[in-house]
Amino acid sequence: MADQQISAASEDRVLMKGNEVLAEAAMRAGCRFFFGYPITPQTELAAYMAKKLPKIGGTFLQAESEIAAINMVYGAGAAGARAMTSSSSPGVSLKGEGISYMAGADVPGVIINVERGGPGLGGIQPSQSDYFQATRAMGHGDFFMPVLAPSTVQEMADLIYLAFDLADEYRTPAMILADGMIGQMMEPVTLPPARDPKDLPKKPWATTGTHMEREHNVINSLFLTPQKLEDTNRERFERYKKIEATQQRQELFMCDDADIVLVAFGAASRIARTAVRAARNKGIKAGLLRPITLWPFPTKAIDGIVEGGAKAFMSVELNMGQMVQDVELATRGRVPVSFYGRTGGVLPTPEEILEQIELRASELGINPAKAGE
Amino acid sequence: MARIIVDDVHCKGCGLCVAACPKGVLALDSERITPKGYHPAKLVDPDGCIGCSSCYMTCPDVAITVVR
Amino acid sequence: MATAPKTLPDYQEERIGSQIAADEKIVSARPHALADKVFNFCPGCTHGIVHRLVAEAIDELGIEGKTVGISPVGCSVMNYDFFNCDMIEASHGRAPAVATAVKRVHPENVVFAYQGDGDLASIGTAETVHAATRGEHITVIFINNAIYGMTGGQMAPTSLPNQVTQTSPYGRDVTKVGFPIRMSEMLATLDGPAYIERVACDSTAHIRQAKKAIKKAFENQVNGVGYSFVEVVATCPTNWGMTPQAAFDWLRENMLPYYPLGVYKDVSAEGYSNAYEAAAERAKDCPIAQKKEG
């Protein structure tokens, strides 16, 4: 239908909740298929989709399980559509199987994890304890996928838009790793332009029916010949190399002259930023590197900071220390790396982080500069 | 006058067609070996075939063409 | 009923067509929807018969160009190579979820899932039941041969009481591992399905009936009647440890009494045009379940 509305929200500048922005921006990115299963704390997202998607000719389907939901994303993606699912930590574990198959069969799709504390049923408060899972082990087999970490409601919109583009361009699943805090937060946001799914780039590999005009398309991750499987994996890792070379994204805050650089993403980065400002007020040259892509990890930015003369890195996370391993890998022993984290839904205060910065500064013999220096 | 043609590429010599033939005019050909190493089915009594397609229907490898 | 004259698929023109005289007519030939790939099934495995029936249904309905098949995990895992239509390989048991999404994305496509008993009735039970109860407009072909074939003959959800398998070496002890699932009967209790039939492939008469059922299951989808499910009672000579012919005998002797053949649900035979009408009638005393006008 030519006059069919292709966006649910009529305004482009709105005050919205993070979870709803994810939904709205996904629709504006051309996503018309949502498959999910109820779980806290991402319910607003599914509710928004349930309400709005049918109005713009889309499909909202509450699946029987997280496993079914991700396999529906696999099917819809295989059929050429932009499709997504959303969940929170325990539910995302169940999606691991389907995500591995998507990676193995080169099927694009977007998975949202509005993280909560774990392991097991854990809690329902904000957490970043799925960093390893998202960046290392989202399923069995040799694969990675782009993982994007929003820290504002605006980024919820921008990054899900980007996630769909990356997924299609590189034929890969892509993940938004958010947390309950950004998900539940309301902020003003400028929504991205609505795209008609019909105008998106064509997918000649999709299973849409041959219409007796071409050889049959097969979406598959089974390769029983060892050499064929190795070749397939190598080709995929060539794409990963391209992603690593071109898609690293980060925000640098006061890093130029920083002695101590905090590394934090998502909700933790908001608190870390306040702590960095407070440290600067006390004369400690602190800075913040905020990874926006968790995979690929912004190693080039870390190189730049190391070469710029930073004396130490401190990874601040809402977990027991996961991203810190990537910071250590990226710094390659050139500067010391420490970690500070709270877990279980406990958020550190800026004062608490400031205290850690001061402690670290004194350990390293970094003396606060006099004000104005 | 009916007869069958067996596609040696597909026949695995399982013998189900031989058993299914109501006229008992099929057998596995011990003289021949398919590329996959099986003795394929053959029509041993050309006059006995009635073209009923029972063999075609039972063949799990869809290796049989029936002509009349 | 007039049927179109049979022709050979292109790839057989040379090796088979060259043997056919000008005055001979083809009575039965390989369906066009089947590719020229040798099935990876053991000799005498009845998967191949069912593949032919599916391909014939696709040919006869003229739907190859718009059909998308979903392959399972199990012996027929590689059937994405056997059919000429577009195919998707699903993870173990998830074919109905994948089929659901494909059909939702392209409602004009004909979408079928082909699954074995471990795939459909064990690891994928939830996906099977829920696709059925949602009344997805898909066609599901279920091969019940009472065993896990691909992994070497383990006990299946449909293995018979006392049946010896690799993981029930003393026979399936129902007091310890419970009973086989009769999927057709179970799914027939749901409102979503339009058509459920159990057939077998052990004799030409049964295969003829199986063909009718499978074709109907595809036709129902083309005509919007609803979710259609055909269970085919089949054999696994290799893992049952018998010849293909003896396996047919075993099937008739043991499987058919436990898994009676027949139609378990058919809304069109009951006079409804689709599953929704039949479900509404069944729930006619429940006010909220009645569709509101306007």
Task: Look at chain B and report how many structural domains it folds into.
Answer: 1
- The answer to whether residue A7 sits within a structural domain is no
| All residues at 6 or more sequence positions from C103 whose CB lies less than 8 Å from its CB, including other chains | C109, C111, C136, C137, C138
Query: Region A294-316: what's the mean pLDDT?
Result: 98
Torsion of CA A134, A137, A140, A145, to 10 degrees: 40
Question: Which residue among A72, A74, A79 places its CB closest to the CB of C106?
Answer: A79
Q: Are residues A143 and A282 in the same domain?
A: no
Radius of gyration of chain B (CA): 11
Position C294 pLDDT exceeds 50: no
Question: Which residue among C16, C49, C203 places its CB closest to the CB of B5?
Answer: C16
Interface of C with B in 126-165 (CB under 8 A): none
Q: What is the Cα–Cα distance from C46 to C146, expressed in whole angstroms?
A: 13
pLDDT tens-digit readout, B19-66:
999 999 999 999 999 999 999 999 999 999 999 999 999 999 999 999
Q: Are residues A255 and A122 in the same domain?
A: no
Q: Are residues A41 and A166 in the same domain?
A: yes
Could you identify the residue written with the tokens 């055909």? Answer: C230
| All residues at 6 or more sequence positions from A212 whose CB lies less than 8 Å from its CB, including other chains | C64, C65
> How much is the pLDDT for C292?
65
Closest Cα partner for A214 from A204, A222, A225, A199?
A204
pLDDT tens-digit readout, C215-260:
999 999 999 999 999 999 999 999 999 999 999 999 999 999 999 9
- The answer to whether residue A48 sits within a structural domain is yes
pLDDT tens-digit readout, C8-46:
999 999 999 999 999 999 999 999 999 999 999 999 999
Chain B residues whose CB is inside 8 A of the C46 CB are 60
pLDDT tens-digit readout, A107-155:
999 999 999 999 999 998 989 999 999 999 899 999 999 999 999 999 9
Question: Taking a C-beta distance cutoff of 8 angstroms, is the pair B3, B46 a contact?
Answer: yes
- The answer to whether residue C23 sits within a structural domain is no
- The answer to whether residue C201 sits within a structural domain is yes
Question: Which residue among C86, C89, C94 places its CB closest to the CB of A208?
Answer: C86
- The answer to whether residue A239 sits within a structural domain is yes
Q: What is the Cα–Cα distance from C83 to A209, expressed in whole angstroms?
A: 12
Q: What is the Cα–Cα distance from A115 to C211, expressed in whole angstroms?
A: 50
The whole domain housing B37 covers 3-67
> How much is the pLDDT for C2?
46
- The answer to whether residue A211 sits within a structural domain is no
Q: What is the Cα–Cα distance from A99 to A93, expressed in whole angstroms?
A: 10
Q: Are residues A268 and A295 in the same domain?
A: yes
pLDDT tens-digit readout, A159-189:
999 999 999 999 999 999 999 899 999 999 9
Q: Are residues A257 and A274 in the same domain?
A: yes
> How much is the pLDDT for A180?
86
Query: Region C152-171: what's the mean pLDDT?
Result: 97
Q: What is the pTM of this model?
A: 0.96
Task: Look at chain A and report how many structural domains it folds into.
Answer: 2
Q: Are residues A238 and A271 in the same domain?
A: no
Read off the CATH number of the domain in which B11 is found: 3.30.70.20
> How much is the pLDDT for A6?
52
The whole domain housing A61 covers 14-204+219-246
Task: Look at chain C and report how many structural domains it folds into.
Answer: 1
Q: What is the Cα–Cα distance from A289 to A317, expressed in whole angstroms?
A: 13
- The answer to whether residue A341 sits within a structural domain is yes
Domain boundary among A195, A228, A246: A246
C-alpha angle C131-C134-C135 in degrees, rounded to nearest 5: 90
Q: Are residues A162 and A280 in the same domain?
A: no
Q: Are residues A182 and A260 in the same domain?
A: no
Q: Please name the helix (run of DSSP H) or strand (run of DSSP E) that holds residue C133, with its range, or none.
A: helix C125-133
**What's the 3-state SS for A136-163?**
CCCCCCCCCCCEECCCCHHHHHHHHHHH
Closest Cα partner for A366 from A257, A256, A260, A253?
A260
Q: Are residues A238 and A281 in the same domain?
A: no
pLDDT tens-digit readout, C256-286:
999 999 999 999 999 999 999 999 999 999 9
Chains A and B touch (3+ CB pairs under 8 A): no
The whole domain housing C83 covers 33-265
Position A2 pLDDT exceeds 70: no
pLDDT tens-digit readout, C97-154:
999 999 999 999 999 999 999 999 999 999 999 999 999 999 999 999 999 999 999 9
Chains touching chain B, criterion 3+ CB pairs below 8 Å: C
Q: Are residues A233 and A331 in the same domain?
A: no
Q: Are residues A92 and A46 in the same domain?
A: yes
Read off the CATH number of the domain in which C240 is found: 3.40.50.970
A112 min Cα distance to partner chain C (Å): 18
Count CA atoms closer than 13 A to C281's CA, side-chain side: 10
- The answer to whether residue C75 sits within a structural domain is yes
**What residues of chain B have any CB closer than 8 angstroms to a CB in chain C?**
2, 5, 7-10, 12-16, 19-20, 36, 38, 51, 53-54, 56-62, 64-68
Question: Taking a C-beta distance cutoff of 8 angstroms, is the pair A267, A302 a contact?
Answer: no
Q: Are residues A322 and A357 in the same domain?
A: yes
Which residues is C197 bridged to in the sheet?
C230, C263
- The answer to whether residue A2 sits within a structural domain is no
* Contact criterion met (CB < 8 Å) for A213 and C78: no
Position A343 pLDDT exceeds 60: yes
Chain C residues whose CB is inside 8 A of the A218 CB are 80-81, 86-89
Question: Which residue among B7, B60, B67 places its CB closest to the CB of C45?
Answer: B60
Residue in C with minimal Cα distance to B61: C48
Q: Please name the helix (run of DSSP H) or strand (run of DSSP E) that holds residue A125, with its range, or none.
A: none
Read off the CATH number of the domain in which A259 is found: 3.40.50.920
C103 min Cα distance to partner chain B (Å): 29
